[in-house]
Amino acid sequence: MNPALQIDTPMTRAETRASLSLAAIYMLRMLGMFLVLPVLSVFARELPDATPQLVGFAISAYGLTQAIFQIPFGLWSDRYGRKRLIVLGLLLFAAGSALAALSDSIYGIIAGRALQGAGAVAGVVMALVADLTREEHRTKAMALIGVSIGISFALSMVIGPVLSGWLGLHGLFWIITALAMLSIVVLYAVVPTPAVSRFHRDTEVRPASLKEVLANRELLRMDLGIFCLHLVLTATFVVLPLILRDTLQLQTAKHWHIYLPVFALALASMVPFVVLAEKRHKMKVVFVSFIGLVAVSNVGFAWLQHDFWSVFGLLYLFFTGFNLLEAMLPSLISKVAPLDLKGTAMGVYSTAQFLGAFVGGAGGGWVYGHYGIPYVFLFCAAVALLWFMVALGMKAPRGLSSLMVNVRGLTQDQASSLSRRLLQIPGVAEAVVLAEDGVAYLKIDKEKLDRMALNGLLQELAA
């Protein structure tokens, strides 16, 4: 047996390199996915045969195929190899981008976006991160991935309009194609190849556990939450760029003039509430309140969309709520999910996220086509209100964090004994030790954890 002797050791250079390079790949891919979001509804409606509903499909078609292939790609990577599946997914993404770039009809854009989503490598990237990092550093590596997603979204809102003003929609899709190919270069030039790839319960879906995850009401609340959040986001961007251009008379290339300050203010404003939620253990109060904020901002958009400062203020409220909820939901999944089912729970969660994006684009386009822009926002407000009502019934999550420790080489009896001993350490709230995985899965209270006792137990096991 060769367990980790300390839980506070720094990441190795190899782990840091792997984490940063895979975060870069994730960021490049998500940047490619989001770049067209703030401009597609403006450009796509000028295409032959375009209707509001078809434009909605063009914006969100990737969500359906991403939801379909998200879990299978992860399972296939266990059999055929991580890097092979990532390359396949990136090639599909590049092919979809090129198809959209070459298309002069709305149907070609829809087909290209759907093909983009079919390259669903997010779960495979997470599994490769797990292959290349020790258990006790997995949370840090995943946090880097999370930061990369946030950066890619913010960058897309700012540079998407600028690039489209220079290059047009076709040029924007060619840039996205190049980003996908660059990701393949990074994968082979920078990302290490793992000595051994194996199944990781914290990052991968275990099909046999899907029934258990789907029966967990608290997890289903989170799944509904991310479904609703991305539904509202995508439906909003079916019509928001049209408001900025047609109502506020702001040229598409200058939409960043409103997105940049809004995002900066929203990110700054959410920080105190993150501290309140995590440090002061007010997670439920903050979470439910900000769902309400998203609902209120959409109600406001239904009536107050005719002058710059009203739109600016409502966008500020919306993105403050969106950014906070987007950050809190994965944390809530980690707190709620059974220790050995986090990967499966996250797989279902991601599938719900992409389904929400698809329904948001399709539904938002249909509502816009039949009833007009104000009713799209009322549709979003109704969805947010439904989520608000469901979230009111959630249990207040405990202020716990996840921790994994390498304990390979244990027998079943030793694993059971270690679970009991871990639970005796102050600050360890839950402990599951799986001999077949060689991992101890813990939920800890960071403020109460006796780190000396935990490190001492690990050193005793190593002796």
Q: What is the CATH number of the domain that holds 446?
A: 3.30.70.100
State how many domains the chain has.
Answer: 3
Same domain, 244 and 331: yes
Domain residues for the domain of 414 are 401-462
Same-domain pairing of 388 and 428: no
Does residue 419 form part of some domain?
Answer: yes
- How far apart, in whole angstroms, are the C-alpha atoms of residue 317 and residue 78? 42
**Separation between Cα atoms, residue 293 and residue 299, nearest integer Å:** 10
Do residues 310 and 237 share a domain? yes
Same domain, 77 and 112: yes
Would you state the structure tokens that stand for residue 316, as one six-digit string?
A: 């500020």
441: left (phi over 0), alpha (psi -120 to 50) or beta: beta
- Is 157 within the bounds of a domain? yes
Query: Are residues 387 and 260 part of one domain?
Result: yes
Q: What's the CA gap between 421 and 50, in Å, rounded?
A: 64
Residue where one domain finishes, among candidates 180, 204, 228: 204
Whole-prediction pTM: 0.93
* Residue where one domain finishes, among candidates 134, 169, 204: 204
Do residue 302 and residue 437 come from a single domain? Answer: no
Residues 259 and 360 in one domain: yes
Nearest-angstrom CA–CA distance, 84 and 143: 24
Written as six digits, the tokens of 426 are 């102050």
Per DSSP, the residues of 63-111 read HHHHHHHHHHHHHHHHHH-HHHHHHHHHHHHHHHHHHHHH--SHHHHHH
In degrees to the nearest 10, what's the CA dihedral of 262, 264, 268, 270?
A: 50
Q: Tokens for 431, please give them.
A: 């402990």
**Residue showing tokens 């995943």:** 142
In a domain, 212, yes or no: no
Ordered per-residue pLDDT tens for the chain, 463 residues: 344 445 667 788 889 999 999 999 999 988 988 999 999 999 998 898 899 999 999 999 999 999 999 999 999 998 899 999 999 999 999 999 999 999 999 999 999 999 999 999 999 999 999 999 988 888 888 888 888 888 899 899 999 999 998 999 999 999 999 999 999 999 999 998 888 788 888 889 999 999 999 999 999 999 999 999 999 999 999 999 999 998 999 899 999 999 999 999 999 999 899 888 888 888 999 999 999 999 999 999 998 888 899 999 999 999 999 999 999 999 899 889 988 899 999 999 999 999 999 999 999 999 999 999 999 999 999 999 999 999 999 998 888 888 888 888 888 888 899 999 999 999 999 999 988 888 889 999 888 899 889 888 888 876 6
One domain, residues 189 and 303? no
- Domain-embedded: residue 378: yes
CATH number of 333's domain: 1.20.1250.20
Residue with the two structure tokens 């060619």: 174
Task: Mark whether 251 and 384 lie in a shared domain.
Answer: yes
Q: Please tell me the total number of residues recorded for the chain in this structure.
A: 463
